[in-house]
Structure 1
Amino acid sequence: MFIPPADEFVSSSRGKLTSDALPMIGGGQMGDLVRGTDWSLTPLGAYNSWPASMRTALSLVLNAKGIAALYWGERQWLLYNDAYGLALGDRHPSAFGQPMPDVLTDIGPVLGPQVAEVLRTGKGFAIEKLSMTMNRHGHDEETVWTYSFSPIQGESGGFAGVLLLATEMTQQILADRERDKAEGDRAQAVVQLKELNARLEAEVTRRTEDRNRLWLLSSDIMIRCTFEGLITAVNPAWTVLLGWQTDELIGRTIFELIHPEDLDHTIKAVNMSASGHAYNRFRHRDGSYRRISWSTQPDDQQINAVGRDFTAEYDAAQALAKAEEALRQSQKLEAIGQLTGGVAHDFNNLLTVIKSSTDMLKRPDIADERRARYVSVISDTVERAAKVTSQLLAFARRQALKPSVFVACDSVKALAGIISTMVGLK
């Protein structure tokens, strides 16, 4: 601080300040500072030389409960109380007794012209929530103030000083901003939540409409039933595919409509309560049956299933199988026709052997040894003829082809006779 402190009050007889010369009571630390300073060494001069209006105003400032300051004269000498000193931060107490524009370079450009205007016009004014940047702790910070200026009349009748009464609103404003921000964030969150709910509701509505549209327009039959098989809902496709009206099905069990031969595996599938596929025959309202392929999806309370009528595909597959079997049989008959010539030639040879042997046996003078040989030839020839006949009948037999295990070598040897006959080998 520019003002040099005095360790003790000097006698007024030496022209110095004495405690009797200070009628102020209290004033806190700044009051002690005023009383402990030799003002005669400052540009303000000895305290006794200060105008009475200045000393009275200073007394008001020092004893004020809130932030208060006195700006005196054209140079705006700064005198303030304890609360003002705290608001100055690390510029206190060096700013005390100095020209305000010189020591408060951050806010001086704002306050200086205002103080000068009050001194010039003698009209006070008040400002609320003015934001100013102050450097009071070694760094710039935003501060907010509500304050008023009041003119102080000097001894000559003009206005010699300005009284400042101020309230710092920084913390309140920051708290209000935080609150407003929190409320804004909360309001924004509410808006976003409402938008999210609206989107979810729209999505649920869309999916519900899609599901309902699928339920109504699907060409496949759809059903919901309990785990006991009690039907709770069916879609309109039941009427188209199976002839049943909705009210004829609700409350019945699916087991009433299933072909008796398919009941066991259907009941097992229902009892398993698992997702998957099943096949069975469902009774049409006219008494006939349709083959249905099911896709099932159970939940906690019921079974949901979609069924596709594959009766036409099944019938087509059966017809195709019959046609293929007929084709195979016709191919067999064609092959038999090709074999007929060779087989007839073989039988003719066999019959010739038998005829010759029987003619020889009719001779009365034939020896027993030769008779036995002719009988053996007849027997072997008959066995050969029977074998050829058996093979031909087996080839022509109408039966489904089934896989079986056999010795290939023996089967090939057995076919040798037929093959040799077909290709004309002897």
Structure 2
Amino acid sequence: MPRTTLPVSNPDQLAYRLLMDSDWAEAGGLATAPAELRILLTTLFDSPEPLWLAWGAQDKHFFFNDAYLPLLGGKLHGAMGRGLQEVWSDVWTDVSAAIDDAFAGRHRSFRNLPLQMDRDGSMKETFWTFSYSPLRLLTGEVAGIFCVVSEQTEQIQQKNLHTRQVAAITEQARDAHLELVRAREQLRQAQKLETMGQLTGGVAHDFNNLLQVIGGSVDMLQHTLPPDAPQLRYVSAIGSAVDRAGKLTSHLLAFSRRQSLTPEVFDIRESVRALSDIVSTVLGARIRVDVLLPEAPLHVLLDRNQLDTSLINIAVNARDAIVGQGTVTISVSKVSTIPSVRQSAPLLGDYAAISVSDSGQGIAPEVLSRIFEPFFTTKGVGAGTGLGLSQVFGFVKQSEGEVDVRSTVGEGTTFTLYLPMTLAAASNAAVPSPHRLASGTGLTVLVVEDNVDVAAFATSALAELDFNVVLARNATEALAELERDAGRFQVVFSDVVMPGVNGLELARRIRATYPGLPVILTSGYSELLASDPNHGFTLLRKPYSLKQLASALAQATR
């Protein structure tokens, strides 16, 4: 009886010969294989990419091609045609659920998944990128799965990324379902926070433009009205409301992780020590504040103002949780690992950990999962905005750190901020010099702004300061004005968020083509600036005042 073969392009390839000599083929598996499997095996052996397939929901016979051979290591002997769970027994507990999903008809994919794997007789941490796809018969029934795979271990080690450790599953089978439900709930919460962040960031962007027009108009009135004008008290009231609204917008931007941070290198111990007096005042006489600091300096690269705001927000929540007298303890330490937080893997590295513990009433478990959501609060109407802890969450995440919360009802709560340390030394911050409203006599500004109302305010404000103004509605118009005669401009004042070429890219083009022409950027919300805080351009945050605009122009043109 002739031997059953497959129409492959290279019958001499090792994987194909292993198939023909496998126990599965010798037992008649190939001869009795359905047409779909024979076609898939031909495709598998003819592919230059590392691929494998498993056939049969029960047996899960394992087949692979030549490109996949180096990934098997010591598992190669006898692997062809064996059960998938036998070949990959060392990682089966980690991948079996995803494989079951694929056999149920749902595809799964993973990027840089850490797996503890048997390599040459010892367990080692490896990283893999792969995807499972269900394979169906003509009847529609799922008969197998297909996997595209590549190992990323060497690349991740070369880039010195955070080493992610895979925690072994130690619970008994009866607890596995509860653990899965808990993980799904944590994922749902993380996805909800991310979606809410995108929404609040977009709202904050539009709101900042409105505040810019309102606040700018207030500044113009205050600048032009005589000092004894009775209307000034109404104007001042509007200005105060704009300031309060701007702070709320800042919290929204912090939560959405789209705010423009101003990072600086400083010793986090000194920052906490300086803040402790303010925290004591905020908490009041009934609450004792203890501060525990290490002896060695801990340098971080962070936005100091956002850190202070985060600690005050946490302290205020601690105060409200304490009935009568109590204690709040702020401790700072250096750690080399961030523990698993919200089902994420632990992170290795040098971090400064700031813990704020209180002796309050604690947080109920059903509330704990929602505390970082914007506008969520358990306080009474008018007692809080629900934005304090969302600011903490956004700032820490944008700073590439993590925030953990541990609470026991009736005993108290501990918030821990893990913030990455830096090897750079702290520098003394320059003290800004005060500026009076600058006169722009003889100076011309190229204003680039797509929002009609904001553009009207900016041009009016600059005209009030005696600047000559040329308005461009977008980057294309701005570059055309510069190409026509760049020498007439002493400074470019551009919005960041614009259709087409954004303001940051426009500034970089101007720097490359006209290196002597200063550029001032303005924005209240921008992912571009949030992801690149070291862009090197002067930034004026919306909503900006007439005085702030004058100060920025004075510094740029002097």
Specify if TM > 0.5: no
Q: When the two structures are superposed, what TM-score results if normalisation uses the length of structure 2?
A: 0.29
Larger helix proportion of the pair: 1
Q: When the two structures are superposed, what TM-score results if normalisation uses the length of structure 1?
A: 0.37
